[in-house]
Amino acid sequence: MSGPRVVLVGPMGVGKSTVGQLLAERLGVAYRDTDDDIVAEAGRSIAEIFVDEGEDAFRALEKRAVRRALTEHEGVLALGGGSILDADTRDLLAGQCVLYLAMDVEEAVRRTGLNTARPLLAVNPRKQWRELMEARRHLYEGVATAVVATDGRTPEEVSQVALDALELKEA
Ligand SMILES: Nc1ncnc2c1ncn2[C@@H]1O[C@H](COP(=O)(O)OP(=O)(O)OP(=O)(O)O)[C@@H](O)[C@H]1O
Ligand SMILES: O=C(O)C1=C[C@@H](O)[C@@H](O)[C@H](O)C1
Ligand SMILES: [Mg+2]
């Protein structure tokens, strides 16, 4: 089946961009991120889209961006943290090489802090993150070919564990 070499899923701040770019380098392919595609197309930040149009409108843009990237991109692709909420998107991920990057709540708070660029974590990030993960954990696990815990590992270590888990060879 054609499609990206690796699709990265996981919650905000888990390291999809950092590890995704490392994996792309090591595999000798390009890196792409659907959040960046949405921002480029809309000409606004994700926080602005949430505020101006609401989450539902953002999810509609996201669904389209993910479908397009899964068709067009053959390298490493990071999906927005909430893209797996959509059942059609989860169907599209069946048969793809999907890496779920995981972490616990304390690590999440350390990494994302109070960064307002992530609108879903803008208020009480620890509680918000727990609730998001309760709703999403099984969805991430359901689409995953492999799950890699990122806690206590450097991005380089995470990328090595991921290559091993997915049985991918470096370029
Ligand atoms: N394995 C790691 N150990 C420690 N810090 C990390 C690790 N991976 C990423 N980070 C740091 O955590 C923060 C979030 O990483 P990154 O932006 O790659 O996550 P993301 O999943 O792409 O988040 P987003 O939801 O914004 O797309 C960054 O400051 C990054 O440097
Ligand atoms: O987990 C989420 O719902 C989100 C994650 C980010 O990647 C962005 O797509 C946006 O901030 C929403
Ligand atoms: Mg990212």
Per-residue pLDDT of the chain (171 residues; tens, 9 = 90+): 579 999 999 998 899 999 999 999 999 999 999 999 999 999 999 999 999 999 999 999 999 999 999 999 999 999 999 999 999 999 999 999 999 999 998 898 888 764 556 667 677 778 888 999 999 999 999 999 999 999 999 999 999 999 999 999 998
Query: Does residue 118 have its Cβ closer than 6 Å to ligand 2?
Result: yes
User: What pTM did the predictor assign?
Assistant: 0.94
Amino acid symbol at 170:
E
* Complex prediction ipTM: 0.97
Residue 43 Cα to chain centre, angstroms? 21
The domain made up of 6-166 is a member of CATH 1.10.150.170: no
Q: Cα separation of 119 and 115, whole Å?
A: 8
Ligand nearest to the CA of 8: 1
pLDDT for 116 equals 54
Whether 16 has a binding-site annotation, put simply, is yes
Please choose from 16, 36, 46, 103 the residue to mutate so as to test ligand 2's pocket, defined by most ligand atoms within 8 A of CB. Answer: 46
3-class secondary-structure state, position 12: coil
Q: Concatenated DSSP letters for 29-97?
A: --EEEHHHHHHHHHTS-HHHHHHHH-HHHHHHHHHHHHHHHHHH--SEEEPPTTGGGSHHHHHHHTTS-
The residue ranges of every structural domain in the chain are 6-166
**One-letter amino acid identity for 121?**
L
Cα(113)–Cα(105) distance, integer angstroms = 11
